Amino acid sequence: MRYAVKTENLCFSYETNFALDNVNLDVPEGVLFGIIGPNGSGKTTLLSLIMKFLKPSQGRIEIFGQDTRKLSHRALARLVAYIAQDFNPAYDFSVEEIVEMGGIPRYKSFFDSVVYEEELRKALAIVDLENLRKRPFSTLSGGQQRRTLIARAIYQNTPIIIADELTNHLDLGQAIKVMDYLKSLTKMGKTIIITLHDLGFATKYCDLLALMDEGRIVSVGRPDEVLSEEVISKIYRAKVRVIKTSEVPYPWVIF
C-alpha cells in the first residue's frame, strides 16, 4: 500500500513540558483520515510537524515515501495544501487574492503570476463565495473566512489536503457541502487529513480515525473500531453512548 503520509517514532517537545511521544501514523493514499482528541492532545502540533513549521526532536516523516527533510517548502506545497486553525493575513487581501495564493507553488518563477480562472471559479463555487470575490478578507464572517481558506486549498490542487479543525465556524449546510466535496476528492485518489471536534462528522465521513490523547495516538482504525464508549468517555472525561444500529451506516455518538 502506498502511504500519503507516514510518521515514524515522531517526538517533539515545547519548552513547556508537553511532548508528542513516539507518534507512528500511517495515512494510506486516497482516504479521508480524521484525527480526533481533546483540546491540547497534540493534533495541531502533529500537523505542524508534518508541514515543517516545527522540527521533530526525533523520528521522521515521509510524504509519498519522501523524507520531508529533503523536500523544499515549495516541493511540499505542491504535494500538500494546508488549512490552519487560525489565519491572519499580514495585509488585507481580497477573497480572490487569497485564493490565488494557492497557485503560487505552481508558478515557474517568482515573477510568474498565472491565474487559472476556471479553477479559481470552481474553487469559489464549491464554498459559495463567487459573489464575495472582491471583498476584503477582514470584512468577512468567521465562516466566510474559513471557506476562503478552503477554496485556496482546493485551488492549490495538491494530492493531499490537510485541514486543522476543518469545520470550525461552518454552519451545518456548509460543513456538509465541504465534507461531501472532500469525500469526492478521495474517490479521485486524493488524500484528506483533518482534525475535528464533531464526532458526528468524524464517524459519518472519515474512512479512518486516529484518536489522540496527551501527545500519543491511543487508537487508529475505522470509526466503529475507534469509537468505543469506554475509551471516548474516559479520554473526553464525558459520559457518552455509542449507538450502532442497522438504520444508520455509521456509529452514533450521543451524550
Residue with smaller CB distance to ligand ADP, 20 or 179: 20
Q: What x-and-dash track marks residues 40-59 binding Mg ion by CB under 5 A?
A: ---xx---------------
Applying CB under 6 A, which of residues 8, 11, 18, 218 lies at the interface with ligand ADP?
18
> Within its chain, how far is the Cα of 195 from the centroid?
6
* DSSP 8-state assignment for residue 188: T
The interface region with ligand ADP, picked from 11-19, 123-131, 138-146, 244-252 by CB under 6 A, is 11-19
Residue with cell 449507538: 243
Residue 44 near ligand ADP by CB under 6 A: yes
Structural contact between residues 193 and 5, judged by C-beta atoms closer than 8 angstroms: yes
**Contacting residue, 25, 30, 43, 79, with ligand ADP by CB under 6 A:** 43
Residue closer to ligand ADP by CB (options 45, 174) is 45
Q: Which of 160, 163, 217, 167 is nearest to 190 (CA)?
A: 160
Smallest gap from residue 236 Cβ to ligand ADP (A): 12
Size of the site for ligand ADP (CB under 6 A): 11
Contacts of 56 (CB under 8 A, 6+ apart): 10, 11, 12, 49
Which residue lies nearer to ligand ADP by CB, 39 or 131?
Answer: 39
Q: Tell me which DSSP letter residue 136 carries.
A: B
The one of Mg ion, ligand ADP, none whose footprint includes residue 88, by CB under 5 to 8 A per kind, is none
CB of 129 to Mg ion, least distance (A): 25
Phi first, then psi, for residue 244 (nearest 5°) are -115, 115
* Other Cβ atoms closer than 10 A to 176: 15
Q: What is the number of helices (H) and of strands (E) in the chain?
A: 9, 12
Does 16 help bind ligand ADP (rule: CB under 6 A)? yes
Contact with ligand ADP (CB under 6 A): which of 34, 37, 102, 251? 37
Residue 41, binding choice from ligand ADP, Mg ion, none, Cβ under 5 to 8 Å by partner class: ligand ADP
Q: How far is 236 from 214, CA to CA, in rounded Å? A: 11
Residue 48 to residues 20, 65, 70, Cα–Cα distance (Å): 12, 19, 17
Contact predicate 66/159, CB 8 Å: no
Helix, strand, or coil here: 47?
helix
**41 binding ligand ADP? (CB under 6 A):** yes
Q: Which stretch binds ligand ADP (CB under 6 A): 43-51, 143-151, 222-230, 232-240?
A: 43-51
Among 2, 24, 40, 112, binds ligand ADP (CB under 6 A): 40
The residues of the shown chain that bind ligand ADP, judged by CB under 6 A, are 14, 16, 18, 37, 39-45
The residues of the shown chain that bind Mg ion, judged by CB under 5 A, are 43-44
